[in-house]
Amino acid sequence: MDLHRAIKETHPEACRIVTLDGVTTVTDTNGQEIKFDLEACTKKAEDTTKAEAYIVSRVKAYPRLTDQLDYIYHNGIDKWKTDIVDPVKAKYPKPST
């Protein structure tokens, strides 16, 4: 997650977010500047990025969908869960939030 998305999530009234020369300015629909906690928004962006990283890792670790469906056809769902799904989930666990 980038900083702008974190600001939008924490300040839904934000209409325009501009970062220029390292300074971020947030305004509402009336052009009024919105005060925000840059440190808190930066932390939220970093935490969300880390929390979402496991998804990318899992997607890369699973075989192609067609291969998984073939595996299910020949071995059944329970075997697919224990042989394919469980090892990936164990290797890339969902982080606690």
Contact 34, 13 (CB under 8 A): yes
What distance in Å separates the CA atoms of residue 95 and residue 97, rounded to the nearest whole number?
6
- Rounded to two decimals, what is the model's pTM? 0.56
pLDDT in tens, 3-26: 888 898 888 898 888 888 888 899
Phi first, then psi, for residue 85 (nearest 5°) are -70, -55
Report the Cα–Cα distance between both ends of the chain, in Å, rounded: 15
**Average pLDDT, stretch 62-80?**
98
Burial degree of 7 (CB within 10 A; 0-12, 13-18, 19+):
buried
